[in-house]
A = this chain, B = another copy of it.
Amino acid sequence: MQSAFDIIAEPNRRAILSLLVSSQQSVGQIERQLRMSQPAVSKHLRVLRDAGFVESIVDAQRRLYRLKPESLQEVDAWLAQFRRFWSAHVDALERHLDRMDQPTPTKGKKRRRR
């Protein structure tokens, strides 16, 4: 599990990162909001931490995780080379892309139109 692209390929991990945008969260809070098992949350957080996407601070028995978004810049940088393609003719597309995925956990299902 090396590249940032692998990290964000996992839907639950993306959901966790999205959660942490609003504010830092404890493992338990993430667990409840995303309706995942506690070990699952801990494991994903471990991956995210090892990859530098989040960091944790200890608060008694809890651990509060917060975003460390620098790692995402790798993805952003890679994406940059394609921007010129869609900057030409965006318009209508923007609207429908404002859908944020909320986690239907248990990966597997993805609504993709077409």
Contacts and interface: CB of A to CB of B under 8 A. Distances in A.
A16 interface: no
Contacts of A99: 23
Contact of A8 (B5, B69, B101, B114): B5
B104 A21 contact: no
- Copies of this chain present in the complex amount to 2
Contact of A96 (B23, B100, B110): B23
A36 to B, nearest CB: 16
Given A78-B14, A85-B67, A104-B26, A97 B112 contact: no
Contacts of A58: none
Contact of A9 (B5, B17, B73, B96): B5
Q: Which 9 A-B pairs have the closest CB atoms?
A: A2-B110, A9-B9, A69-B85, A77-B97, A69-B82, A5-B9, A72-B82, A23-B99, A21-B81
